[in-house]
Amino acid sequence: MKKIFKALNFTGISLFLIISVVACDKDFSTVESDVLGEDNINFNTGKVNLPITAYNKKLDSLQINNLSSNLLGVFNDPAYGQTTASIITQISPSPSGFNPDFGDNPVIDSVVLTIPYFSRTITDSTYTISDSLYGNGPIHLSIYKNNYFLRDFDPNSPTNARQNYYSKADGSINTTDNFAMSNNTIINFDTNRGELLFEDAEFVPSNKTIVTVTMDEDSTITRTKSAPALRAKLDVNFWKTTIIDKEGQPELSNENNFKNYFRGLYLKAQSINDNGNLVLLNLASTSSNVTIYYSKDDTAATGERTQSTYILNLASTASININRLNTFINNYSLVTLTNGDKTLGDEKLYLKGAEGSMAVVDLFSGMVECENEDGTTSIVTALECFKKTYRVPDGNGGYKKDSFGNFILKQLINEARLVIYEDEGMVGPTDYHKYDRIYAYDVKNNTPTIDYIFDPITNSSSPLSSKIVSLGQRDPAQLKYKIRLTEHLKSILIRDSTNTKIGLVLSSNVNLTDNSKILNSNNTVTNVPSTSIITPRGTILHGTNANVPENKRMSLEIFFTEPK
């Protein structure tokens, strides 16, 4: 440790020209200068690896309502085991749909549930959903009426806060039913399910374009193409009794009455022969709905019929709130997830979504032997040694500040980055982790890192190519990730920030920065990035424990400049 901090003050004999930090995975180059000459250079540059401690944090009781998107199906992770994801969601008419008038003699033609997939256009009429589909085996899909009332507000909250629901995926009660937790109450949605509305014993998501055919009053046929979606024809008789026959009744008069009367849908997934597929659904899309197609008597032409629709929305709007849960059943038969060693760090770090595991990186843990200005050493905290190494002392045991109240640095940090290696023994098909990203966040404030916020590269259509300055991209040849923390460390030095712990989760969409709470957490980690919950794949990384080979051990690299 002493050598590491002393290394920060060595005198360089070459001039390092830092030509770019846009590509985080580019190493700095050493270039000899024939113009200036060593004697004419008034600063030195160098690189040092600071010791860090990384450990596992097992995740459970995660907030699973109001996620940006939702998983449905069965996924077998080759390194962890099986996850089964189901969905419970409210539905509601729009404000204009309350107190409906269905006309005279309404007759339902069909009822269709539509939930778009996340798809990309290949040509004008073809799509792919491969980016959001995991596995290709069929699952048993059942859609039930949900009889459990999902509250909008927490009755125990003095501020009338929104009601949150939390995961219970450990299978400790049973491995067939879907559970959630509300405060400290366990909910079993299978004991609260109503009528079966749809069933497909071999459901596989399709990337086919959806063609809708309509006919107007002049018998003109119109064909409309739309992107791939989960479409299910629901039982007609149920919706006649439940909706059409309730015209003029209090049940359809306002949002509160409707949500209490019709408490939503339960989309239950089950494996077939312990296999299946998992797909990411866009329930936040305005195209997510239940549409009742019906005909009624034409008031202008005796004996004629007209077509109409009544729409029940699955997506929240500015005026209607839809509460929605993503439940999980985890059978992690290949790995036992536990909380790690905060002092010594862990050999392997497990990043797994859907109530799995994350890693915490303590940038400054423990006590170290640190070199003083006069050449002596003292035992101080790692954080204090870091400050002592980089800040200008004021001669009174403190550090100098500028006119803005910021600490003055004697060494400039040009680049700081976490270097992370995957466990090469991790199983998985070729290119299995091709689209995986590691998302780093500020654990104390539950926010993205400053480097993420400053990162100018944002790609909304391709998350793989977004935020590549701060989060980098996976190096498939070296099984390596690099996470930029330059501005994060500068904030600690210059503004005395105390955000010294970084959370690492696996993400398939680093553009999502929302957080999900952990129920009753008394730990350093109180929230997790929501993107990790809806990322089904897992990965295994080398940690910081002394047993990890040095060339594979996670490290914090700092490139610096100091005046001679």
Identity at 147, one-letter amino acid code: N
Do both 505 and 401 map to the same domain?
yes
Answer positive or negative: Cα dihedral of 113, 116, 117, 120.
positive
**CA gap 26, 440 in Å, rounded:** 19
**CA gap 337, 359 in Å, rounded:** 12
HEC profile of 68-102: CCEEEEEEEECCCEEEEEEEEECCECCHHHCCCCC
HEC profile of 251-279: HHCCHHHHHHHCCCEEEEEECECCECCEE
Final residue of a structural domain among 331, 352, 375: 331
User: What is the structure's pLDDT at 184?
Assistant: 83
For 159-215, what is each residue's pLDDT tens digit? 889 999 999 999 999 999 999 999 889 999 999 999 999 999 999 999 999 888 776
Do both 96 and 176 map to the same domain?
yes
Q: Give DSSP secondary structure letters for 368-422.
A: EEEE-TTS-EEEEEHHHHHHHHHBPB-SSSSB-B-TTSPBPBSSEEEEEEEEEEB
Do both 363 and 253 map to the same domain?
no
User: What is the structure's pLDDT at 29?
Assistant: 36
Final residue of a structural domain among 331, 366, 387: 331
Residue 69 domain-assigned?
Answer: no
Q: Give DSSP secondary structure letters for 465-532.
A: GSSTTTS---BTTTTEEEEE-HHHHHHHHHH-----EEEEEEES-TT---EEEBTT--SS--EEEHHH
Do both 353 and 481 map to the same domain?
yes
Do both 10 and 123 map to the same domain?
no
Do both 323 and 346 map to the same domain?
no
Short-list 55, 46, 145, CA closest to 91: 145
Do both 306 and 397 map to the same domain?
no
Do both 23 and 129 map to the same domain?
no
Do both 148 and 31 map to the same domain?
no
Do both 52 and 86 map to the same domain?
no
Joined together, the tokens standing for residue 454 give 């400053």
Q: How many domains does the chain have?
A: 2
pTM over 0.95: no
Cβ-contact 141, 231 below 8 angstroms: no
For 341-380, what is each residue's pLDDT tens digit? 999 999 999 999 999 999 999 999 889 899 888 889 999 9
Pairing of strands 210-215, 193-203: unpaired
Q: Give DSSP secondary structure letters for 529-555.
A: EHHHHT---EEEEE-SSTTS-TTTS-E
Final residue of a structural domain among 277, 312, 331: 331
Ranges of the chain whose pLDDT falls below 50: 1-38, 40
User: What is the structure's pLDDT at 2?
Assistant: 39
Do both 261 and 142 map to the same domain?
yes
Residue 146 domain-assigned?
Answer: yes
Q: Which residues contact 525 (CB under 8 A, 6 or more apart)?
A: 57, 358, 360, 443, 503, 518
Domain of residue 327 covers 81-331
Do both 286 and 343 map to the same domain?
no
Collapse the DSSP code of 3 into the 3-class scheme (helix H, G, I; strand E, B; otherwise coil) and give the result. Answer: helix
Residue 54 domain-assigned?
Answer: yes
